[in-house]
């Protein structure tokens, strides 16, 4: 998969077919060489960040595997969004004289190379400059290292610094390391594109890629630790379409002035017979820890249930030191016995409302199915939802003998989460993590609004409370007339008072290059839709929306899948036939499979990196492929393509869509890619690719249109984008 913001390719040997593209630089031969003569075998990147300045060192190793000696030009795309203060290019101990080029000159060179080599691996339009330098001869069998050093100013995105690098594909050995001094001034680094490993040493921060084979551009955000809440907004808006955005909310480390938010906490513990032994010991230790984290301004209630229901005291208990110690002793003396009276426990837990201006939290732990009183999960969930009031509910299912429908419904609209602890798992650690989280609420009842911009389809739909050290990532869609700077405002409550935090937002009519944002938004929405169908029953509109998302972005869920069958046939499984349309009945949503289903929905709805939603080629191919065979499915540019009739076909394409054929590498082809930049990645698929739009599909192949009549391309763009 190639990035739309870089010129990527392997030089010296890119002729009739696409060869693997590597990170950032390549060598263009001065004279034609045998194909595959010079290849990049290794790349290493080191970045040192001081303030807003990043000093980047790129080392690349090239080997001449051909039969003759030759030389070429080393080409390196310069990120257009940065400002360079200096650069140097070295080969061994000799300095190479570099020639920087602007975007227009880079575009001309790019199109000349692609036309000559007819190589889709170079399909990355300019928008950046190029650095070009003559490379000294490389003899057959010799390996040469090229070192590039440059300094750039990091972009400021709201309350975060942004760093980007073209990480390339996994074909070459590659390493990446970033070091930052004065680490206390930034929060936890976040990357929506790659998993990171982060380590701290004193006031220094060191991070690297968790997976050195991960492909694609690296996007990295360094939230600045300032004020109560830091906000950073990134957006992606193709021309003529609504945009997608990613909002990063990061509470500052400094404590806010004034009294901390008061908390009213209800802890509910299952003490039925099945909880005996290690499970109860861990659960009691977890509750002791939870009580120990309360402040004098907080209040608490303790509820236990077996066949019957008990409480520690009538009404709320103030969290004084003495009362907390007495409650902890009461918890330590608890024992098990009887059935599982979940109905009675929920009634008791929600009987006393929290104070106005307080954060009401219910922590519910159980390891079993309801066996006493009301046992229908749907009736239990409905009753709890009507009685919940302002409480946040956090549920913990211990083992697999729990009803996931009930526990997920308890937390679904209560700004909480459900955690499932595997048999033998560490209950104390899991509940302890929640206790640490809710110890420092920053803002509650969060809401988002924009000046001149309409935000919709937020994921998560109900913004959770914001706690210190718990960075929140929100995805969504937006629309708004015109372009220019606007403001985005987050409102929330702290200690009963409303507070507002704003950041600049740009509503642009041009794509910004953050093309991972729509994919992550779609994945989160697909997870939320799947959960909605399971918890609230089938709905034709939700089914249609889930189907559209699955086809457009290639997202696989329990309800959506596709199958490629041989020899050259693609068959879409029915998204919702009568058997699959209805989720398991509420009372049947128990056991290991139900827990796994709930976890999968949660993972999709909480996707933070692209690798969480990537579909691997052949994973759904319906049969094993021969050794070395090309995958029958590929995910490229946020779409999934299947091999059908010698063409890579977008699985969202339907026979009812009109198809416009465009000749690869023609004038019409380059004009098309400039008009619809999102076609650049799919255009790398050979020998032909068919990409689905809203009202028309576009096929790029050897034949087809070579030029456009007046107004024809503009009409095609409107039909493609709908």
3-class secondary structure for 132-165?
A: EEEEEEECCCCEEEEEEEEEEECEEECCEEEEEE
Q: What is the CATH classification number for the domain harbouring 374?
A: 3.40.50.410
Flag whether the pTM goes above 0.85.
no
700 and 554 in one domain? no
Chain segment 278-333, per-residue pLDDT in tens = 899 999 999 999 999 999 999 999 999 999 999 999 999 999 999 999 999 999 99
152 and 207 in one domain? yes
* Boundary residue ending a domain (514, 538, 563): 514
* Boundary residue ending a domain (411, 437, 463): 437
599 and 459 in one domain? no
What percent of the residues of the chain are helix, what percent strand, and what percent coil, each to the nearest 5?
25, 35, 40
What is residue 3's predicted lDDT score, i.e. its pLDDT?
A: 30
406 and 288 in one domain? yes
Judged against a pLDDT cut of 70, whether residue 572 lies above it is answered with no
106 and 150 in one domain? yes
What is residue 628's predicted lDDT score, i.e. its pLDDT?
A: 37
Q: Specify if 442 maps to a domain.
A: no
DSSP annotation of 498 reads E
Distance CA 587, CA 598 (A): 15
Phi–psi pair at 352, nearest 5 degrees? -110, 115
Q: Where are the beta strands (DSSP E) in 495-588?
A: 497-507, 562-565, 569-572
Chain segment 100-117, per-residue pLDDT in tens = 666 566 667 666 766 665
278 and 200 in one domain? no
What is residue 450's predicted lDDT score, i.e. its pLDDT?
A: 82
Domain count, the chain: 5
Q: pLDDT > 70: what percent of the chain?
A: 74
Q: Specify if 349 maps to a domain.
A: yes
Q: What is the CATH classification number for the domain harbouring 148?
A: 2.60.40.3680
Contact between residue 265 and residue 352 where contact means Cβ atoms under 8 Å apart? no
Q: Specify if 8 maps to a domain.
A: no
Q: Specify if 468 maps to a domain.
A: yes
389 and 289 in one domain? yes
What is residue 383's predicted lDDT score, i.e. its pLDDT?
A: 93
585 and 523 in one domain? yes
212 and 315 in one domain? no
**Cα-only R_g, the chain:** 29
What is residue 655's predicted lDDT score, i.e. its pLDDT?
A: 83
Chain segment 330-362, per-residue pLDDT in tens = 999 999 989 999 999 999 999 999 998 889 999
213 and 273 in one domain? no
Q: Where are the beta strands (DSSP E) in 354-494?
A: 359-366, 392-398, 418-421, 441-450, 454-459, 466-467, 472-479, 484-494
CA-based nearest residue to 608, from 546, 520, 712: 520
Contacts of 440 (CB under 8 A, 6+ apart): 260, 467, 468, 469
Q: Specify if 602 maps to a domain.
A: yes
**For 15-19, 149-153, 397-401, which range has the lowest pLDDT when averaged over its residues?**
15-19
Q: Specify if 635 maps to a domain.
A: no
What is residue 63's predicted lDDT score, i.e. its pLDDT?
A: 84
Q: Specify if 291 maps to a domain.
A: yes
Reported as half-sphere exposure (CB side, CA atoms, 13 A), residue 278 has a value of 7
577 and 551 in one domain? yes
Reported as half-sphere exposure (CB side, CA atoms, 13 A), residue 107 has a value of 12
244 and 211 in one domain? no
* Boundary residue ending a domain (563, 595, 612): 612
Chain segment 50-79, per-residue pLDDT in tens = 888 888 888 888 888 878 776 777 777 666
Q: Specify if 446 maps to a domain.
A: no
Task: State which residues form the domain around 549.
Answer: 518-612
What mean pLDDT is predicted for residues 208-226?
A: 78
What is residue 611's predicted lDDT score, i.e. its pLDDT?
A: 60
Judged against a pLDDT cut of 60, whether residue 411 lies above it is answered with yes
């Amino acid at each position: 998969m190639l990035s739309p913001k870089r010129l990527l390719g392997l030089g010296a040997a890119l002729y009739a077919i696409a060869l693997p593209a590597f990170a950032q630089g390549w060598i263009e031969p001065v004279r034609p060489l045998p194909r595959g003569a010079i290849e990049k075998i290794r790349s290493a990147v080191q970045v040192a960040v001081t303030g807003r300045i990043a000093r980047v060192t790129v080392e690349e190793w090239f080997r001449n595997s051909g039969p003759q000696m030759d030389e070429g030009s080393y080409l390196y795309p310069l990120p257009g969004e940065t400002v360079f203060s200096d650069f140097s290019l070295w080969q061994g101990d000799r300095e190479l004289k570099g020639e920087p080029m602007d975007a227009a000159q880079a575009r001309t060179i790019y199109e000349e190379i692609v036309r000559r080599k007819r190589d889709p691996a170079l399909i990355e339009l300019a928008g950046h400059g190029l650095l070009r330098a003559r490379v000294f001869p490389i003899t057959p069998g010799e390996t040469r290292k090229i070192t590039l050093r440059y300094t750039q100013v990091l972009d400021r995105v709201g309350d975060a610094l942004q760093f980007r690098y073209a990480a390339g594909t996994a074909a070459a050995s590659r390493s990446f390391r970033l070091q930052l001094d004065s680490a206390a001034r930034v929060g936890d680094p976040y990357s929506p594109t790659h998993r990171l490993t982060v380590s701290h040493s004193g006031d220094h921060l060191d991070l690297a890629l968790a997976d050195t084979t991960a492909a694609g551009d690296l996007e990295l955000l360094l939230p600045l630790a300032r004020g109560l809440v830091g906000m950073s907004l990134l957006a992606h808006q193709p021309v003529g379409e609504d945009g997608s955005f990613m909002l990063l909310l990061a509470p500052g480390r400094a404590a806010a002035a004034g009294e901390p938010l008061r908390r009213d906490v209800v802890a509910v513990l299952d003490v039925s017979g099945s909880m005996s032994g290690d499970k109860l010991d861990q659960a009691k230790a977890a509750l002791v820890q939870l009580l120990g984290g309360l402040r004098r301004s907080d209040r608490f209630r303790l509820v236990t249930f077996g066949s019957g229901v008990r409480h520690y005291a009538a009404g709320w208990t103030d969290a004084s030191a003495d009362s907390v110690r007495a409650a902890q002793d009461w918890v330590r003396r608890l024992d098990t016995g009887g059935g599982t009276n979940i109905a009675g426990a929920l009634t008791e837990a929600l009987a006393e409302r929290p104070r106005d201006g307080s954060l009401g939290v219910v922590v519910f732990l159980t390891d079993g199915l309801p066996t006493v009183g009301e046992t229908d999960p749907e009736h239990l969930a409905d009753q709890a939802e009507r009685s919940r009031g302002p409480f946040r509910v956090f549920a913990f299912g211990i083992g697999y003998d729990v009803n996931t429908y009930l526990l997920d419904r308890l937390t679904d609209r209560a700004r909480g989460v459900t955690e499932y602890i595997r048999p033998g798992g560490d209950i104390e650690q899991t509940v302890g993590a929640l206790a640490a989280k809710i110890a420092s609420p920053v803002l509650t009842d969060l809401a988002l609004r924009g000046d001149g911009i309409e935000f919709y389809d937020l994921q998560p739909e109900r913004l959770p409370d914001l706690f210190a050290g718990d960075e929140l990532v929100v995805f969504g869609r937006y629309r708004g007339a015109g372009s220019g700077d606007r403001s985005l405002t987050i409102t929330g409550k702290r200690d009963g008072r409303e507070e507002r935090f704003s950041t600049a937002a740009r509503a642009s009519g041009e794509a910004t290059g953050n093309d991972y944002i729509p994919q992550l938004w779609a994945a989160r929405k697909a997870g939320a839709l799947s959960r909605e169908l399971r918890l609230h029953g089938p709905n034709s509109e939700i089914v249609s929306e889930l189907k559209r998302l699955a086809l457009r972005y290639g997202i696989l869920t329990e309800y959506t899948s596709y199958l490629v069958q041989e020899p050259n046939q693609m068959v879409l499984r029915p998204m919702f036939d009568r058997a699959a349309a209805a989720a398991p009945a509420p009372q049947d949503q128990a056991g290991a499979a139900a827990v796994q289903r709930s976890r999968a929905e949660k993972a999709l709805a909480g996707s933070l990196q692209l690798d969480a939603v990537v579909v691997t080629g052949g994973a759904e191919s319906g049969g094993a492929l021969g050794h070395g065979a090309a995958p029958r499915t590929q995910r490229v540019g946020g779409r999934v393509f299947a091999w059908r009739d010698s063409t890579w076909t977008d699985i969202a394409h339907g026979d009812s869509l009109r198809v416009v054929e465009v000749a690869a590498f023609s004038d019409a082809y380059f004009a098309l890619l400039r008009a619809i930049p999102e076609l650049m990645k799919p255009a790398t698929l050979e020998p032909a690719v068919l990409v689905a739009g809203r009202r028309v599909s576009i096929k790029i192949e050897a034949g087809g249109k070579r030029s456009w009549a007046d107004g024809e391309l503009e009409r095609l763009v409107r039909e493609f984008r709908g």
